[in-house]
Amino acid sequence: MKYSIAFYCQSVPFDQSTIKLETSLGGSESALIMMARQLSQNGHDVSVYTKIPQQEDRINDDYGIRWMDVSELM
């Protein structure tokens, strides 16, 4: 069974280097990325709503996760 799963994380801005785990993150943010990756690899639709810096037009993700700015929730 395939699920659509959405996560909300507004603690730190996520950019391209953040989701590739190239920059230092806290434990909960790292856990969010790893959990989202695994769920996506298991065939689920995964979206993450977070702070995305304005200079980032789009975050490319090798795992098929949709990264969206929290402003898209309103």
64/55 Cα distance (integer angstroms): 21
User: What is the amino acid identity at position 39?
Assistant: L
Determine the pLDDT at residue 43: 97
24/4 Cα distance (integer angstroms): 28
pTM: 0.89
Confidence band for 48, pLDDT divided at 50, 70 and 90: very high
Flag whether pLDDT at 74 surpasses 80.
Answer: no
- Tell me how far CA of residue 44 lies from CA of 16, 35, 39, 59, in angstroms: 22, 11, 6, 19
The owner of tokens 């785990």 is 21
Determine the pLDDT at residue 11: 87
